[in-house]
Amino acid sequence: MKHRWWIVALLGGAITASGEVPDGDAILTAVDRNIGSDTKVSTARMVIEGRRGSRTVAFKSWIRGMEESSTEYLEPPRERGVKMLKLGDQLWAYYPSTDRTIKISGHMLRQSVMGSDLSYEDLMEDPLLSGLYEPVIESEEVVLDRLCWVLHLTAKRDDLAYDSRTMWVDKERFVILREHRFAKSGKLLKTTDVTEVVEIDGRWVGKTVEFKDALKSGSGTRFIIDTIDFDVEIPEFVFTKAILRK
């Protein structure tokens, strides 16, 4: 882990020490190296602001690479035991109240998760952005009292959830502090704003993030990471369909 962090630090030093205009690809690679890992295990909460007040949904996630992830909901009681499993481009959800497993595909992937401002695609993705988008530096701005590069990302493929993104990247820590996500038409679909950043195992992580679906009314969803462990061993069965009913 420390070796990975030193790679990021060295890359950042090379970018900033030269005094030249940096390359967008190098910045995006540094972002990926800061947060990327072979595996991740995390516990998190979504605080969903609705018309009748707020409610909190807690869950635990296991992620391996970019293609495999498993999530189990812990709270509230009526959602406890709901599970989701992603294998490649396939996603399943298990609901203990009905003892049913449903495959989520197509347009369903863009539906809200538990009434939040996050879609299934948002919650389950863990991409290396440098492999999916072409970045261009647009400007520099200050976010959370941190000087940031403003990058505009254009999708390299037609099947991505967002055709383009604009992101504000901390120039020293290579953590994304703000992001706007757009459809092919250029319509704004979603915004994210990091309100708290913490250092975990030599990485900078957005601990608290405000998500807002631009197509929905409401105050948005606050996503809070309670714990996260990188590059840990995960049992193989966690990424099999058997885990859904276990």
What local confidence, expressed as pLDDT, does residue 15 receive?
52
What confidence category does residue 122 fall into, taking pLDDT thresholds of 50, 70 and 90?
confident
Q: Residue 92, Cβ neighbours under 10 Å: how many?
A: 18
3-class DSSP state for residue 231? coil
Q: What top-level class would CATH report for the domain 39-125+232-245?
A: mainly beta
Domain ranges for the chain: 2-38+127-229, 39-125+232-245
Same fold, 2-38+127-229 and 39-125+232-245: yes
What local confidence, expressed as pLDDT, does residue 231 receive?
94
CATH number of this structure's domain 2-38+127-229: 2.50.20.10
Distance CA 229, CA 234 (A): 11
Q: Is it the case that residue 123 has pLDDT exceeding 60?
A: yes
Largest CA distance in the chain: 60
